[in-house]
Amino acid sequence: MLLPTKPRHCKVCKQGLYRDTTLFRGGWSRCTACDEFVHYSCLASGKVSFLKARPRVCKVCREAENSSSARGKGADLPPAVGS
């Protein structure tokens, strides 16, 4: 008995992850933060724009990480004294 294969979709761009269309356009990789498959082009960039950051993190998880760290930094500041 053959089990049906479930089509996978990229979490970032919502397009299908099909071997025939993505193999020659960079392929796909798994995000280490959310454990989802995404297109290679949908991974966050590293220090050099055409290289990808390690560990592999998708753009959505990188934005969430940056926004949470920005909010955390403002909350950790002590109140101003003497004003």
* CB within 8 Å of 11: residues ≥ 6 apart: 31, 34, 36, 37, 38, 42, 58, 60
pTM (2 decimals)? 0.68
For the chain, the structural domain boundaries read 8-62
- What pLDDT, in 10s, does the model give residues 24-81? 667 888 899 999 988 888 899 888 877 888 889 999 999 998 888 877 665 555 666 7
- 58 bridge partner residues: 43
Q: Which residue has the higher pLDDT, 83 or 80?
A: 80
Asked if 26 and 10 touch (Cβ cutoff 8 Å), the reply is: no
Q: Domain 8-62: which topology? A: Herpes Virus-1 (3.30.40)
